[in-house]
Amino acid sequence: MDQKVSLPQLPNVALGQIFRNLDFLEVQPVRKVCQNLRSFIDNHHRLDSSLKYVSISVERGKFTVSYNFSDEDKKLSVVYENWPGGCFVQSQINGILRETYLEKQDSLEIFCNDFHNIWKNQKRELSSFSVEFFGENESSDFLNQCSSLLDNHFQIDQLHLFVTTSNQIISILKKVDPRCIVINNKNENRENLEIQDLMELNQWRNAERLFIRSFAISAPIQKFDHFKKVSVFFRTASWDDVSLLKEVNTTRQTCSNFEIFPEVSSRSE
C-alpha cells in the first residue's frame, strides 16, 4: 500500500519543481500553510513581487491595500478589519473573493506581516505608491510601524499622500525615494502645512516634481528651485520672492513649469 506524503514532507528538490510552475500570487497562500513551507519559499524560492502600483488606506482598526502588478491581469486587494475577538480579512485575488476570520488577531499586525512579505520581494521601481489617512488619531499606530514596514529605499516614480498632518508625510517620505511627490490635504480647507522638517530630507532634495494641494505653506522659495515642476500655494509672498521666481523661470529652462499661487504682500524682506 502506497504511503501518502503531504506537501510539507516532500524533499526540497520536489518542492522546487512544484513552485517553479507558480507565480508570485499563487505562492503566497502556500506560505501560510505551515512554517516549513514558509521557510522553504522565503529561503529557496523568493520571486520578484513585480508590483507596479500600491495603494493603502488607513482607518481606525481597518487597513485596505490594493496591489497592481506588472502583469495587468494580476491584481490583489485585501481588507483587514478588527472585529470583536479578532480580525476579519477579505481578499480578492484576480477577482476571486476569499474571507477569513482570525481569532485573537489584530488587523494592523496581520496587515503589516502580509505587506512586508510582498514589499521585501520587490526588486524594481514602483510606478505609484499611495497612502491615504482617514484622520490623525487613526494613523498613529500605523506610523509607528513604518520604520520596520518600509525598509527598502527603492525608487518610486510617484508618491501620493492624502494626509491631515506633516508627521504623516515625514513618516512615509523618509522611507522611500520618489521622483514626484504629491501631497493632498484630506480636509481641503487650505490650512497651513509645516514643511520645515520635510525640506531637510534627502528625499525632498532629490525629488524632481512637487505638488501640494489644498494646503498653504510658508517657506523660502529657494527651497523649491531645484524641482523641475512645482505647484504649491503660498498665503503670502514678498516682492523679492516674486522677483526670484521670475529669475528662476527665465534662467533655468527646467523650471519653466514652476507654479506658485501667492497672495502677494507688498513688503520686501
Q: Residues 103, 224: one domain?
A: no
Query: For 108-153, how does the pLDDT look when each residue is reduced to its tens digit (9 = 90+)?
Result: 999 998 888 888 878 888 999 999 998 766 678 888 887 778 866 6
Distance (Å, whole) CA 47 – CA 118: 10
Question: How far separated are the first and last CA of the chain, in Å rounded?
Answer: 92
Residue 39 has a pLDDT of: 72
The letter for the amino acid at 261 is F
Residue 266 has a pLDDT of: 42
Residue recorded with cell 499563487: 26
The closest alpha carbon to 246, from 217, 237, 236, 214, belongs to 237
Residue 152 has a pLDDT of: 62
Please tell me the number of Cα atoms within 13 Å of 11 on its side-chain side: 2
> Does 115 reside within a domain?
no
Residue recorded with cell 523660502: 220
Residue 54 has a pLDDT of: 94
Distance (Å, whole) CA 210 – CA 207: 8
> Does 25 reside within a domain?
yes
> Does 118 reside within a domain?
no
Own/partner pairs for 74-78, CB < 8 Å, 24+ apart? Answer: 74/23, 74/25, 74/50, 76/25, 78/111, 78/114
Q: Residues 78, 151: one domain?
A: no
The closest alpha carbon to 218, from 191, 184, 189, belongs to 191
Instruction: Give the three-state DSSP class for 218.
Output: coil
Q: Residues 249, 172: one domain?
A: yes
> Does 161 reside within a domain?
yes
Domain count, the chain: 3
Residue 224 has a pLDDT of: 84
Q: Mark the ranges of the chain whose per-residue pLDDT is less than 50.
A: 1, 254-256, 264-269
Q: Residues 139, 239: one domain?
A: yes
Residue 227 has a pLDDT of: 87
Q: Residues 258, 196: one domain?
A: yes
Per the structure, the complete domain to which residue 254 belongs is given by: 125-269
pTM comes to 0.81
Q: Residues 189, 95: one domain?
A: no
